[in-house]
Structure formats: structure tokens, C-alpha cells
């Protein structure tokens, strides 16, 4: 696998992990297992689809959806396109979601698992695209983000109640993942159970385990029986579920 990415970015770190273990499991979802090779290929599809739709490097791309493997793929795919992901809470109403996306000046928005009425409203009112519908062709080199480039915008209201975004660069996110890995070491044999909302936890739970070459078992929501089954193959989690 060939890649030419600036050092110290999420993209360069992910590329290194993928190259070292193409066939090891990266994402688990119900009975599906995606290898790192497949994760990389799917993120490339997202990146190329965005670029073909005119999304330029340095743009901001909304990502709205519940927990799914596709959400993680789109998250990294946006960054492979040289853009920053804007990740509002998917439980907000359509009007509030549109407000956050407009304030962040998103070039487009990708939709994952959402309530039907919210998905319809965003598709019609904000020109959003379902992740599952993305198709792409081409083989030209993808953009190479710099460590100082924005990677993630987290919509927030803070103490004022006014919508705003917290901007995290690639360097900030890589440093945070490395610090978390230092405090809570993981190895490539680990499987983390991802049950917290991904829009708020992906940079704290998913990225550190991926940097270690481990796997993420994605649960769509908290469900005692699903968590119990996941514990059969999971070795770590970012939350302690209630009894």
C-alpha cells in the first residue's frame, strides 16, 4: 500500500497501522467483521466521493448519525479528503442540526443512521447525502492534510447557550490519542466495546484503539443483552454500563 501523508496527522497514523496489519480486524458490527484493508478502502471511497462532488481540501463536512461502522468510516474518510468533520449530536432536531451545520459553514453533510424524519429534512433542506449512497471512482492521489490543519469541529453551546464549534487540529487529536494510550494502554489484540455516542466518544475511544491496531465493536445503542454478548469478545470499554 502506497501513501504519502504529512507526519503527525490522523491520516498518516492510520495509514501506518493499516499497512502493518492489513488483514487484522478493525471494525466489528453484529456479525460483520471489517479488516483494516477494508476500512482503508471504504474511507478512500468516502474521500473520493466528496472530492468528486467538489468538496475542496480544507472544507468542513458535516457528519450526522448514530453509532455504526459506516459512521467511523465516514469520519476518517472526511479527513482523507483533506476536510474537517463537523459532528453535531444526532439526537438534536433537524432545525437545530441545520443551524450547527450552517454556522460551521459546511460544504456538504453525510448522513448515517438517523430518524427518518430528521434524515428527510436534512436531505431536502441541507443537501445532505446518505453515507450508504456514496459512490466514487478515480485513482489520483488524495490530499495530504498537515498536522496544523483542522480535523474535527465539535458543536457546542457553552455557558452562553449560543452555538459555536470547538476546533481540533490533527496534531491536537494525535497528541490526545497518544496521551490516552499512555494512561490506558491497549494492544492490537484488544477489542473495545463502543456503546457511547460516537459523535462524542470517537476521538477518545476509537482513535486510541485503532492507533494500537485493535478492533472496535460498534453497538448501535446501549442495550443490556447486546452489551452482555459483546463482553464475550470485548476486552475494554469506555463506559461501565449500569446493572
| Domains with residue ranges and CATH for the chain | 10-237 (3.40.50.12780)
pTM, full prediction:
0.92
Hey, which residues does 152 pair with through a beta bridge? 85, 168
pLDDT surpassing 80 at residue 7? no
Dihedral angle over CA of 94, 100, 103, 104, nearest 10: -120
Query: Which of 119-133, 182-196, 219-233 has the highest average model confidence (pLDDT)?
Result: 182-196
Give 213's pLDDT tier (boundaries 50, 70, 90): very high
Measured CA to CA, the distance from residue 156 to residue 177 in angstroms comes to 21
Residue 10: band (very low, low, confident or very high) from pLDDT cuts 50, 70, 90: very high
Does the pLDDT value for residue 208 go beyond 60?
Answer: yes
Query: Within the chain, where are the H helices?
Result: 10-20, 36-52, 69-80, 94-103, 116-126, 170-183, 198-201, 207-211, 224-230
Read off the DSSP letter of residue 106.
-
Report pLDDT for 161. 67
Residues 160-165: what's their mean pLDDT? 74
Using N-to-C axis directions, what is the helix angle for 94-103 and 116-126, rounded to 10°? 40
d(CA 61, CA 84): 6
Flag the least confident range among 25-29, 54-58, 196-200, 236-240: 236-240
DSSP state of 157: -
**pLDDT of amino acid 239:** 62
- Whether residue 122 is predicted with pLDDT greater than 60 in this model: the reply is yes
Q: In the predicted model, is pLDDT for residue 2 greater than 70?
A: no
Per-residue pLDDT, 78: 98
Kindly indicate the confidence band of residue 240, based on its pLDDT and cuts at 50, 70 and 90: low
Phi-psi region of 58 (alpha: psi -120 to 50; beta: other; left: phi over 0): left
Rounded CA separation 232/243 (Å): 17
What is the average pLDDT value for the chain, to the nearest integer?
90
Amino acid at each position: 500500500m502506497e501513501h504519502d501523508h504529512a507526519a503527525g496527522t490522523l491520516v498518516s497514523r492510520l495509514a501506518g497501522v493499516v499497512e502493518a496489519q492489513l488483514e487484522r480486524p478493525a471494525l466489528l458490527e453484529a456479525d460483520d467483521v471489517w479488516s483494516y484493508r477494508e476500512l482503508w478502502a471504504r474511507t478512500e471511497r468516502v474521500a473520493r466521493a466528496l472530492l468528486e462532488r467538489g468538496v475542496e481540501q480544507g472544507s468542513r463536512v458535516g457528519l450526522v448519525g448514530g453509532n455504526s461502522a459506516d459512521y467511523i468510516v465516514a469520519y476518517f474518510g472526511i479527513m482523507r479528503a483533506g476536510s474537517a468533520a463537523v459532528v453535531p449530536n444526532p439526537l438534536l432536531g433537524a432545525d437545530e442540526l441545520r443551524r450547527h451545520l450552517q454556522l460551521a459553514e459546511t460544504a456538504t453533510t453525510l448522513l448515517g443512521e438517523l430518524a427518518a424524519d430528521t434524515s428527510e429534512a436534512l436531505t431536502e433542506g441541507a443537501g445532505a447525502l446518505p453515507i450508504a449512497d456514496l459512490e466514487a471512482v478515480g485513482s489520483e492521489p488524495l490530499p495530504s492534510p498537515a498536522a496544523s490543519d483542522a480535523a474535527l469541529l465539535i458543536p457546542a453551546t457553552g455557558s452562553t447557550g449560543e452555538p459555536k464549534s470547538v476546533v481540533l487540529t490533527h496534531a491536537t487529536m494525535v497528541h490526545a490519542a497518544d496521551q490516552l494510550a499512555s494512561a490506558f494502554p491497549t494492544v492490537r489484540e484488544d477489542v473495545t466495546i463502543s456503546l457511547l455516542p460516537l459523535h462524542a466518544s470517537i476521538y477518545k475511544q476509537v482513535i486510541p484503539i485503532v492507533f494500537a491496531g485493535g478492533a472496535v465493536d460498534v453497538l448501535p445503542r446501549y442495550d443490556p443483552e447486546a452489551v452482555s454478548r459483546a463482553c464475550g469478545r470485548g476486552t475494554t470499554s469506555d463506559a461501565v454500563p449500569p446493572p
